[in-house]
């Protein structure tokens, strides 16, 4: 679990994530600007059924990320002990709940779209089988193992559970893919690129110039009087090898063994693999958070968005929670659709759009001010000469439309300008100063 508290009983009136009436259509209840960004307050089953009627959305979503309930049989609370959402469906009921929704997501996805489903070790294999069935085994791309928290003193007689999983599928073989890289660290550079070219000072590594497998063409022929080693072929034609050597890109050992030089300054970084260690969720008192339970690491979401969409694309998270995916998408200039059935989630998202996040410390009531040298930080972090640890410059989001339907009569949350109550699916205009 990332943040928040889980238990099995609710405090008060919590909306439960069961299906609502698919016949009720969703309509704008608040709007600012003319972007395609949409925030839906409702059960994603009915919302997606409604979206499928809209040709500007059906088959147009480039990327879907979901982080649904994990069948933990718990009720989750915010840091301020507000009930946030229930996770009470288990076994077949849970699988059916996810199945219905994944089928709709497939229809909403663009043909070159991708879907990422975040789960823990309880249901990941059940849902993997389900996704093989819905998206096709051939469209399975990766199962990412993510380190979710620091090592802990696990009390069970087992290994500490610090990982969760993200299943990555695409709708077809032809999908948006922007390869992701990590930056080189000094340690890794010294290990991987140990040599420095005398003339140029360029750092490089030495790699073989042959590869496994025999070839009958040019790459299987003699170069400088040498045949490739038994069972191998040259990686380049003899002509190309000549050119590399002329350019000083071949290293000759004292025993006359040629190797190719690969330069650090030509590397894009370290290609991202399917084990992610750098995206822990809220893990210390200074982590910026909304206080919503199970809030995910925003940098992890940015990686996914960068890998599987381009600027201007439409992306969706229909289990939006605190809106991490939506904020990441907005920052990266994607259009977004967010859906959540919980009153508390919508409240948290709207507050996050307007006010950003706070440190964990502040959520539990400690307003910690630390004296720091002001010029190290941007002016937005400074009050007088004091660096305010719990305030960081945040990305204001105010260009979007809120959708709801009549089912949520009486729900109350902070719209961007004021507190508004939805009555019969319509914003109570008496308390509203927004501009619909």
Ligand X SMILES: C[S@@+](CC[C@H](N)C(=O)[O-])C[C@H]1O[C@@H](n2cnc3c(N)ncnc32)[C@H](O)[C@@H]1O
Of the pair 148, 233, the CB lying nearest ligand X is at 148
Edge-to-edge strands, sheet with 419-423: 412-414, 419-423, 426-427
Contacts to ligand X by CB under 6 A: 17, 43-44, 67-69, 85, 292, 294-296, 319, 321-322, 324, 339-342, 345
Residue with CB nearest ligand X?
321
Of the pair 193, 292, the CB lying nearest ligand X is at 292
What is the smallest separation between the CB atom of 93 and ligand X, expressed in angstroms?
13
Of the pair 98, 250, the CB lying nearest ligand X is at 98
What are the distances in angstroms from CA 96 to CA 33, 92, 102, 122, 378?
A: 38, 6, 10, 15, 49
Of the pair 293, 416, the CB lying nearest ligand X is at 293
What is the smallest separation between the CB atom of 44 and ligand X, expressed in angstroms?
4
303: closest CA among 321, 283, 324, 319?
Answer: 324
How far is residue 298's CA from residue 163's CA, in Å, rounded to a whole number? 17
Neighbouring C-beta atoms of residue 114, cutoff 10 Å: 27
How far is residue 54's CA from residue 25's CA, in Å, rounded to a whole number? 11
Of the pair 327, 427, the CB lying nearest ligand X is at 327
The answer to whether 193 and 269 have CB atoms below 8 angstroms apart is no
How far is residue 3's CA from residue 324's CA, in Å, rounded to a whole number? 13
The angle subtended at Cα 367 by Cα 362 and Cα 368, nearest 5°, is: 110
What is the smallest separation between the CB atom of 428 and ligand X, expressed in angstroms?
23
Of the pair 44, 309, the CB lying nearest ligand X is at 44
What is the smallest separation between the CB atom of 417 and ligand X, expressed in angstroms?
24
301: closest CA among 325, 279, 273, 333?
Answer: 325
What is the smallest separation between the CB atom of 211 and ligand X, expressed in angstroms?
43
DSSP character for 224?
A: T
What is the smallest separation between the CB atom of 37 and ligand X, expressed in angstroms?
17
Of the pair 241, 325, the CB lying nearest ligand X is at 325
What is the smallest separation between the CB atom of 90 and ligand X, expressed in angstroms?
14
Neighbouring C-beta atoms of residue 268, cutoff 10 Å: 11
What is the smallest separation between the CB atom of 60 and ligand X, expressed in angstroms?
20
What is the smallest separation between the CB atom of 77 and ligand X, expressed in angstroms?
12
6: closest CA among 97, 99, 72?
Answer: 72
Phi/psi of residue 172, each to 5°?
A: -150, -175
Strand partners, 116: 65, 168
Of the pair 32, 322, the CB lying nearest ligand X is at 322
How far is residue 86's CA from residue 274's CA, in Å, rounded to a whole number? 30
Of the pair 54, 299, the CB lying nearest ligand X is at 299
Phi/psi of residue 266, each to 5°?
A: -105, 5
Neighbouring C-beta atoms of residue 373, cutoff 10 Å: 8
């Amino acid at each position: 679990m990332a943040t928040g508290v889980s238990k099995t009983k609710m405090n008060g009136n919590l909306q439960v994530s069961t299906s609502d009436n698919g016949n009720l259509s969703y309509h704008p209840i608040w709007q600012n600007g003319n972007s395609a960004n949409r925030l839906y307050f409702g059960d994603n089953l009915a919302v997606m059924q409604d979206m499928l009627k809209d040709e500007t959305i059906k088959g147009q979503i480039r990327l879907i990320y979901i982080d649904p309930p994990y069948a933990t049989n718990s009720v989750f609370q915010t840091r301020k002990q507000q009930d946030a959402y229930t996770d009470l469906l288990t076994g077949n009921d849970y699988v059916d709940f996810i199945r219905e929704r994944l089928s709709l997501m497939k229809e909403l996805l663009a043909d070159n779209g991708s879907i990422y489903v975040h789960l823990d070790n309880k249901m990941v294999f059940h849902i993997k089988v389900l996704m093989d069935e819905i998206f096709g085994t051939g469209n399975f791309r990766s199962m990412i193992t993510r380190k979710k928290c620091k090592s802990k003193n696990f009390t069970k007689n087992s290994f500490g559970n610090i990982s969760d999983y993200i299943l990555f599928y695409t709708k077809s073989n032809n999908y948006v893919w922007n390869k992701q890289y990590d930056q080189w660290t000094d340690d890794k550079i010294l290990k991987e690129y140990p040599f420095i070219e005398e003339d140029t000072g360029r750092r490089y590594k030495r790699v073989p110039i042959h590869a496994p497998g025999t070839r009958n063409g040019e790459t299987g022929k003699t170069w400088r009087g040498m045949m490739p080693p038994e069972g191998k072929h040259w990686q380049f034609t003899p002509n190309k090898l000549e050119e590399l050597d002329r350019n000083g890109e071949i290293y000759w050992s004292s025993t006359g063994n040629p190797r190719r030089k690969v330069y650090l300054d030509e590397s894009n970084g370290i290609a991202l693999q399917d084990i992610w260690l750098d995206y822990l969720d809220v893990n210390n008192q200074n982590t910026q958070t909304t206080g919503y339970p199970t809030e995910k690491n925003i940098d992890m979401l940015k990686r996914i968005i960068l890998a599987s969409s381009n600027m201007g694309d439409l992306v969706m998270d229909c289990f939006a929670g605190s809106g991490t995916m939506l904020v990441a998408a907005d920052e990266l200039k994607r259009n977004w659709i967010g859906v959540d059935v919980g009153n508390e989630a919508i409240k948290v998202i709207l507050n996050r759009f307007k006010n950003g996040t706070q440190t964990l410390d502040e959520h539990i009531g400690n307003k910690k001010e630390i004296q720091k040298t002001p010029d190290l930080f941007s002016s937005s972090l400074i009050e007088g000469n004091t660096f305010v640890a719990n305030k960081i410059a945040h990305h204001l989001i105010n260009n979007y439309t809120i959708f709801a339907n009549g089912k949520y009569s009486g729900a109350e949350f902070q719209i961007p300008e004021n507190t508004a109550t939805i009555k019969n699916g319509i914003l109570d205009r008496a308390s509203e100063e927004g501009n619909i």
